[in-house]
Amino acid sequence: MSDDSAPAVRFSDLHKGFSGQRLFEGIDLELPRDRITALVGASGCGKSTLLQLINGLIRPDAGKVEVFGAAVDYTNLPVMRRRIGYAVQQIGLFPHLSVRDNIAILADREKWEESRVKARIERLFAMMDLDLALLTRYPHEISGGQAQRVGLCRAMMLEPPLLLLDEAFSAVDPITRIEVHAQFQRMQQEEPRSVVMVTHDMNEALSLSDHMVVMAPGVVLQAASPDIIAKAPADERVARLLEARA
């Protein structure tokens, strides 16, 4: 699944609806490789649906989804998902597993040597400013900000070339959020990868991303760099989203 010149993700003539309600009717969209793309837009416009189409959690009604130039292979999702990290707002840490076991769950399944697991976790914890003493704790014994960072570490454990983040920074207070942003940016500098992040927060999108896709229900209003979006919104709906910034 690799074509070095292909975008990280390509949707071609994508159609998707739910229970008879149409959402996407023929979207064409490319998300760049090795960059942070932010998907923004009002609630219900289809941001999370696009992420789930990328990792094969849901299938298009028609059209194609390609990841690094290869069509999503629905017969072999576990193999594809090894190359796609996924972190969501609800964090989704398993309450009965320690922090270490939560982070290493995929590596353990892949039968990584313990020394390799340890080295990877140490590197991730250093990048995310997490104390290794947290490894033996359980999710209810750590703060919301720590849990969010642990969720990111879990998504990054296997060094996936593509990372999908669904409101992954939103369940914490504003100060913690700024810290997590900084750690995320450091991680992206040290281990550059293709990232697609969904956010409600226009400021977060403008400050963290290299490329933005601004959406209204079922449609892409504008896809461009944050600079261009801020300076030259494509229409008044994009301008309104910019004005609504806190």
Of 103 and 202, CB closest to ligand ATP:
202
Of 153 and 195, CB closest to ligand ATP:
195
Of 46 and 139, CB closest to ligand ATP:
46
What is the smallest separation between the CB atom of 83 and ligand ATP, expressed in angstroms?
23
Of 23 and 180, CB closest to ligand ATP:
23
What is the smallest separation between the CB atom of 141 and ligand ATP, expressed in angstroms?
29
Chain residues in the site for ligand ATP (CB under 6 A): 18-19, 23, 41, 43-49, 200
Contact 212, 37 (CB under 8 A): yes
Of 48 and 146, CB closest to ligand ATP:
48
Of 41 and 85, CB closest to ligand ATP:
41
What is the smallest separation between the CB atom of 196 and ligand ATP, expressed in angstroms?
12
Going by the DSSP 8-state scheme, the letter that residue 96 receives in this structure is: T
Q: Strand ranges (DSSP E) for the chain?
A: 9-18, 21-31, 36-41, 62-67, 70-71, 84-88, 162-166, 194-198, 211-216, 219-224
Least Cα distance to 225 among 213, 241, 243 occurs for 213
Going by the DSSP 8-state scheme, the letter that residue 30 receives in this structure is: E
Distance CA 49, CA 59 (A): 10
Amino acid identity of residue 1, one-letter, is: M
What is the smallest separation between the CB atom of 46 and ligand ATP, expressed in angstroms?
4
Angle at 213 (CA atoms; ends 211, 218), nearest 5 degrees: 165
Q: Strand ranges (DSSP E) for 76-181?
A: 84-88, 162-166
What is the smallest separation between the CB atom of 14 and ligand ATP, expressed in angstroms?
13
What is the smallest separation between the CB atom of 89 and ligand ATP, expressed in angstroms?
9
Residue labelled with tokens 């009604």: 61
CA distance from start to end of the chain: 41
